[in-house]
Amino acid sequence: MNIDAFKKFDLTGKTAFVTGGATGLGYYMARGLARSGAGVMIAARRETALKDAAKQLSEDSGNAVIYRKIDLSDREDIEYSVDYVIDTLGGVDIFIGNAGQEARLGVSDDQEKIMANLMQVNFAANVSLVTRFLPHMKKKQWGRIIFSSSESSLRAVSIGQSMYAASKGAINAYTRMAAAELGHDGITVNSLILGAFHTDMMQTNVVELLDQMHGPGAGEAFVKDFAGNSALGRLGRPEEVEGQVQLLASDAGSYVTGTEVIVDGGMSIMMRPNPARERIGHSDLLREE
């Protein structure tokens, strides 16, 4: 075993802040950082979920993980919380902007009521946090900024996602411009274009919901059909994001910046029918990633 090869992934002595880190993909992103030795703080809106996740992450990684309850839709809460984060961690070396919300409304629907909230949580909150974390990164001449984006920011994946896609498209554009501006400070900025993963949220918001709407088996049938559109013929496993984050957050990925790293099992390279054929009704309920 070549120990030197693994040293490039070592994050010992680095600090990381992960939004949306209590559940789903964010949990595994945080786990990957903690397993690589970083001091990790996770954040989300639900304190019970955070407390449970921090305990489990600490056990899974062998590295103490702490948490902070934060509501990214509330600008005052962001400002109040970010001081606590900086003081507790001594500055943030690695920022993972993973938390987000989604709403399913067609382009003919009234989207005004969701537009401001989606842009605040999915885009503006990330910019606010980056702005506050940058002085520490610039002082150290080292920093990693990674955003969770979506395949819907690149192409039409599913109907009813126009505003969600727009908010993620804003993140992609910000990634490129921020990377160009911050590169000489030793800071890399990248986005993960995430495809469909079989998370607990997928089970609840898709499988179980479709079963309720259309009868038992409808959810699994939809997921099987949708997964068939990927080159690998399956949905992603949540733990499959760990390595991507470990790469981009460490010196192993030090020459990768300003890019959208596609993690979708090859779905984006496949030809598939017009997503309008999947019309199953809209829900204007917001959900947190």
pLDDT, tens digit, 9 for 90 and up, residues 156-208: 666 656 778 888 999 999 999 999 999 999 999 999 999 888 877 767 667 77
Domain assignment of residue 16, given as a range: 3-197+237-266
7 located within any domain: yes
For residue 31, how many other CB atoms are within 10 A of its CB? 27
**Type of residue found at 253:** G
The whole-chain average pLDDT of the chain stands at 86
Helix (H, G, I), strand (E, B) or coil at 62: coil
96 lies in the same domain as 205: no
Q: Is 56 exposed, middle or buried (0-12, 13-18, 19+ CB in 10 A)?
A: middle
Distance CA 130, CA 284 (A): 29
26 lies in the same domain as 116: yes
- Tens digits of per-residue pLDDT, 245-282? 999 999 999 999 999 999 988 888 876 666 665 554 44
89 lies in the same domain as 207: no
Order the strands of the 65-69 sheet from edge to edge: 65-69, 39-44, 15-19, 94-97, 143-150, 187-194, 260-263
Query: pLDDT at position 111, please?
Result: 63
CATH number of the domain to which 88 belongs: 3.40.50.720
pTM of the model: 0.88
205 lies in the same domain as 87: no
57 lies in the same domain as 89: yes
41 lies in the same domain as 128: yes
75 located within any domain: yes
Distance CA 102, CA 96 (A): 18
